[in-house]
Structure 1
Amino acid sequence: MTAPTDVKRTGAPYGALATGLPSPVVPTRARRDPVLRVITESTDLALRNLLHLRRTPGVLVSCLVEPVVYALLIGYIFGNSLGGTTYRSYMFAGLIAQTVAFTTTFTTVGLSRDLDQGMVDRFRTLPISRVALLLGRTTSDLTTCVASLAVTTTCGLLMGWRIHTGPVEVAAGILLVLLFSFAMSWIGVFVALISPNSQVAGSLGVIWLFPATFISSGFVSGATLPGPLSTVAAWNPITSLANALRGLFGNPPPPGFAAQHAWPTHHPELYTVGCSVLLIAVFTSLSTWRYRTRTSR
């Protein structure tokens, strides 16, 4: 007659005590709900990626130094002939857009290194979602983007750049930058997955960024670009992000800068949000498909 007492004391069912078998494990709500499961696993993997930065500080340093180099080169070497202080205030929105775009390489290099070193194969042996591994990488790299943006903003303030709007506009600009950064990181994921090794991934991750960032209105007026490049610049999402930040931060172009008249020029915030959502939808699907086909060999 001691079985009921044992059941009350241990919380185990009577059958488990009688047979000596362990009681069945009841899954938590986070394991039962697929959405919560992906969120939890992505968070764990994002923290793992951030902790891994301690072993590869050189990659983080390069992301923090590049914005300073571009700010000094473009702001002072070209800036004095394009409008001086007024131009430097104008170009910093383009520099922020470029910084966001170039942090995509951090995602590409980080994921390709995990693929080369066999970390992805180890994760595949665990009962985790495929999307969680990729989402953890893109989420953790938002931290790198924030650090790069902090360095860029500090450099801009030292060079005379100022914000002339209120806190609502500033908050909207920050959210827009983070959304675009998250979208660009998914392009970096796809580039890493289609690259055979980390060396090729590092090259592919950079080679397409230079035309994407410089065929835009990030640093010059897109209307001055020759032939079809002007149209490409007008519809380039990097142009719309730069134009949106100029409007939200109150940094008009210098006198004499020719204005473009395409639809994204007049609706830069809406166009940037639309492009970001489209990039996330397309490259999340492509990256998940490519990850499944690459890891199933």
Structure 2
Amino acid sequence: MSATTTTAETAEPAPVHAESLARLLVAGERPPRPNALRTSLTFGWRAMLKIKHVPEQLFDVTAFPIMMVLMYTYLFGGALAGSPTQYLQYLLPGILVMSVVMITMYTGVSVNTDIEKGVFDRFRSLPIWRPSTMVGYLLGDALRYTIASIVMLAVGLLMGFRPDGGFMGVAAGVLLLLVFSFAFSWVWTMFGLLLRTEKSVMGVSMMVLFPLTFLSDIFVRPETMPGWLQAFVNNNPVTHVAAAVRGLMQGSWPSMEIAWSLGWAALLIAVFGPVTMRLYNRK
């Protein structure tokens, strides 16, 4: 017993020299550093895997859009347009914009949740393009926006929606909405980094989203509104996007509204993108 104990006590690991350790670390060729596109797509795939493992996340892009279309069409259709089917031709593109824009706030909620769990501390230690983590979130959520658009269009077609723009007009309208939603999501990534809890992110998001979506031309045309309210509605970015998507689906290709929508998207990215990354680097 004593011999065994003595042997165990005297057995010590061999000393490691700095030179041998350095040779071991540089013995093989280092893999190339991933570029910005690859890392962004990797984090986008991570966001999609989260949907796979928690499919309940798709509830807000399936049940919520269906409920919105049915409720507003049959609640206001007869009073505002004479029939639900006729009102649906005007309402559906706007409701599509409203639903997708409102679910963009979950980007900020996801960012805040990962920060609280400490996941971002590991991301910041990786030798990757810093904004790729945020861009990956937005790319992953773009799939959610696409699913919501497909669900709403399918329900609308079953209810009697008939876009005069055909497939190309509908596809162009959805693409424009996805571009704007991608840009608008940078606002919520900023709040996700700035605020302490996900409940705070959702509360602030609702305070911003409700005036933007309801004080627009999604439900009715602004001509019947008071003058001061018309001034806000006509300069509301959601109004420009809704009018552009509606025009594209109706086959008119409104160049001015499309330009306004793309201009708002560029402005949102130019303002909130750098602010988000500054907060991310200092978090």
Deviation at 1:114?
Answer: 0.7
- CA 222–251 in structure 1, closer or farther in 2 if over 3 Å, else same: farther
TM-score scaled by length of structure 1: 0.81
- CA 168–88 in structure 1, closer or farther in 2 if over 3 Å, else same: closer
Residue identity matched to 2:257: P
Deviation at 1:205?
Answer: 2.2
Residues of 2 paired with 1:223 and 1:276: CA distance? Answer: 26
The answer to whether the aligner puts 1:281 opposite 2:270 as a matched pair is yes
- 29, 42, 45: which one pairs with 2:43? 45
- Contact kept in structure 2, 1:141 and 1:185, CA below 8 Å: no
Greater gyration radius: 2
1:247-262 mapped onto 2 (5 Å cutoff): 247-250=247-250
The answer to whether the aligner puts 1:151 opposite 2:151 as a matched pair is yes
Residue identity matched to 2:250: G
Residue identity matched to 1:291: Y
* Unmatched segments (≥5 aa) in structure 1: 1-18, 253-264
Deviation at 1:53?
Answer: 1.6
- Contact kept in structure 2, 1:59 and 1:106, CA below 8 Å: no
1:159-170 mapped onto 2 (5 Å cutoff): 159-170=159-170
- Contact kept in structure 2, 1:97 and 1:242, CA below 8 Å: yes
* Unmatched segments (≥5 aa) in structure 2: 1-22
- Contact kept in structure 2, 1:134 and 1:189, CA below 8 Å: yes
- CA 157–143 in structure 1, closer or farther in 2 if over 3 Å, else same: same
Residues of 2 paired with 1:56 and 1:64: CA distance? Answer: 14
The answer to whether the aligner puts 1:108 opposite 2:101 as a matched pair is no
Find the counterpart in structure 2 of residue 56 from structure 1.
54
Find the counterpart in structure 2 of residue 129 from structure 1.
129
Deviation at 1:22?
Answer: 4.8
The answer to whether the aligner puts 1:23 opposite 2:50 as a matched pair is no
Deviation at 1:266?
Answer: 7.6
Deviation readout 1:213-252 (Å, 9 max, x if unpaired): 0110111112222242211110112111111122211189
Residues of 2 paired with 1:284 and 1:161: CA distance? Answer: 37
SS in structure 1 of the partner of residue 53 of structure 2: coil
The answer to whether the aligner puts 1:69 opposite 2:67 as a matched pair is yes
The answer to whether the aligner puts 1:184 opposite 2:184 as a matched pair is yes
Deviation at 1:289?
Answer: 1.1
Residues of 2 paired with 1:223 and 1:190: CA distance? Answer: 35
TM-score scaled by length of structure 2: 0.85
Q: Output the aligned Cα RMSD.
A: 2.2
Deviation readout 1:57-111 (Å, 9 max, x if unpaired): 2222123211111111111111111112211110111111102211212212211
- CA 26–122 in structure 1, closer or farther in 2 if over 3 Å, else same: closer
Find the counterpart in structure 2 of residue 82 from structure 1.
80
Find the counterpart in structure 1 of residue 205 from structure 2.
205
- Contact kept in structure 2, 1:89 and 1:251, CA below 8 Å: no
- How many pairs does the alignment contain? 259
Residues of 1 paired with 2:181 and 2:24: CA distance? Answer: 54
- Contact kept in structure 2, 1:68 and 1:151, CA below 8 Å: yes
Residue identity matched to 1:174: V
